[in-house]
Structure 1
Amino acid sequence: MDVMAKNKKVIKFIIADDHILMREGLAKIISMEPDLKMVGEAADGAQAIELARNIDVDIILMDINMPNVNGIEATRVIKKEKPHIGIIALTIHDQEEYLFELIRCGISGYVLKDVSPDDLVKTIRGVAAGQSFIPPSLTTKVFQEFNRLANQRDQQHRHYGLTDRELDVLHQVAKGLANKDIANVLYISEKTVKNHLTNIFQKIGVNDRTQAALFAIKHNLVED
């Protein structure tokens, strides 16, 4: 037992897994720790969502492949409704596509089912304290993926050749503002706005402001 656990508050957790033996085994191991208390178990993602809505819980151990509603969708719903709940994905899959999707959904931990009991307990406590955990074997892949996406966005902006000011104008167009209002917001003349729009239309290959707005939204060229 972690000596520091004596001074910590009780961490309430739920186990979501469609295999009853897995749930019972995890519950037995984790509940041996005095600061960890199971407050519910779910056999699929739908049950996990319902429990999260109705029970005071700190951590959910979430299997990925479950019937009805899988762990990825359950995580997406729970993090949207209860963002304070820490979700740890439990999986037999050492595959980055699961990890990337789960990170986008808001998980705080990703643990393979062959993890040692001590490491699982440490992960639960760490996530409850606001930390995140990704297996060292996948950390490099995560950084590579995030760098790839960042470079992709940069290349996209460079590809269309839009300047920062043109992106500012396009953002206002996407918000539905008229040229006069855009001029007031950006502290430029209405004529300058028109010139920017002419350049924008030419660069992204559209003929009017409606098409420009739709293009900008579709290609993530403007912020929400």
Structure 2
Amino acid sequence: MKQTTIMIVDDHALVREGITKILSLEQRFQVVAEASTGRQAIELCRSRRPDIVLLDINLPDINGIEVCKTIKSDFPSTGIIALTIHDQDEYIIEMIRNGISAYLLKDVSPDQLINTILQVAEGKSFISPSLTAKIFSQINKLSTRPVESRPRGLTEREIEVLGLVAKGNSNKSIARKLFISEKTVKNHLTNIFQKLEVSDRTQAALLAIKEKIVEI
């Protein structure tokens, strides 16, 4: 069985120790590095090449946003999970824009932490449900990229639907605004999810930000 290798980045030794103990209960995981600063995290990522990085935002030298940007630039396939106390909109959006796969608050349960790592290892994204409303609130301020770009092969109508999904509209609301049936909306969403290779509305919105299908 191939193990998922993990690096823990947090400036508190007790936090790192606690996370390591939790992850040691899962045979599919192997903690290969721990870092207490941003620079150390970048150096260890280059030498140990972990599959997943659990990254705090508050670090004594370089903040987690810059660390995330550097690691994703050097190792695009590395999955980064923000694990922090911060639930402010600006932190969430900036981390998403710089390539994180998941955003968790530190009061997350051990089971949720393990499940999120497993999801990210499979190439999926996850945001704590308590933060979803904040994300949609920010996305609601976005402007849509010109349809001529046709990112990911999306049609003009699919981009319209995605834009309304990103603004938190329900299927019924989208149908009313576009003068189409709810069944047609569902069909469009099925196509959108397939083209974006996601499984739900939140993941579609996150990917739309990352790939600038919608822009802040």
Both proteins in one fold, TM over 0.5: yes
d(CA) in 1 for partners of 2:105, 2:8: 15
Structural mapping, 1:85-124, within 5 Å = 85-124=78-117
d(CA) in 2 for partners of 1:111, 1:142: 13
Q: Residue 81 of structure 2 aligns to a residue in which SS?
A: strand
Q: What whole-Å deviation, never above 9, does each CA across 1:72-104 have from its counterpart, x for those lacking one?
A: 110010001101000000111121111001001
Equivalent in the alignment of 2:129:
136
d(CA) in 2 for partners of 1:87, 1:151: 26
Equivalent in the alignment of 2:42:
49
1:141 deviation in Å? Answer: 2.5
d(CA) in 2 for partners of 1:105, 1:121: 23
Equivalent in the alignment of 2:175:
none
1:148 deviation in Å? Answer: 1.4
Amino acid paired to 1:25: G
d(CA) in 1 for partners of 2:4, 2:96: 22
- 1:84 matched to 2:77? The reply is yes
Computed over aligned residues only, the root mean square deviation of the Cα atoms, in angstroms, reads 1.7
d(CA) in 2 for partners of 1:120, 1:131: 14
- The runs of 5 or more residues in structure 2 that have no matched partner are 148-216
Q: Residue 103 of structure 2 aligns to a residue in which SS?
A: strand
- 1:149 matched to 2:142? The reply is yes
Amino acid paired to 1:40: A
d(CA) in 2 for partners of 1:38, 1:141: 31
d(CA) in 1 for partners of 2:67, 2:31: 19
Q: Which 4+ residue blocks in structure 1 deviate beyond 4 angstroms?
A: 151-154
1:146 deviation in Å? Answer: 2.4
d(CA) in 2 for partners of 1:138, 1:43: 26
TM-score (norm 2): 0.65
Q: Residue 126 of structure 2 aligns to a residue in which SS?
A: coil
Structural mapping, 1:153-168, within 5 Å = none
Query: Radius of gyration: which is bigger?
Result: 1
d(CA) in 1 for partners of 2:39, 2:146: 35
CA contact (8 A) 2:45 2:71 kept: yes
- The runs of 5 or more residues in structure 1 that have no matched partner are 1-7, 155-224
Aligned residues: 147
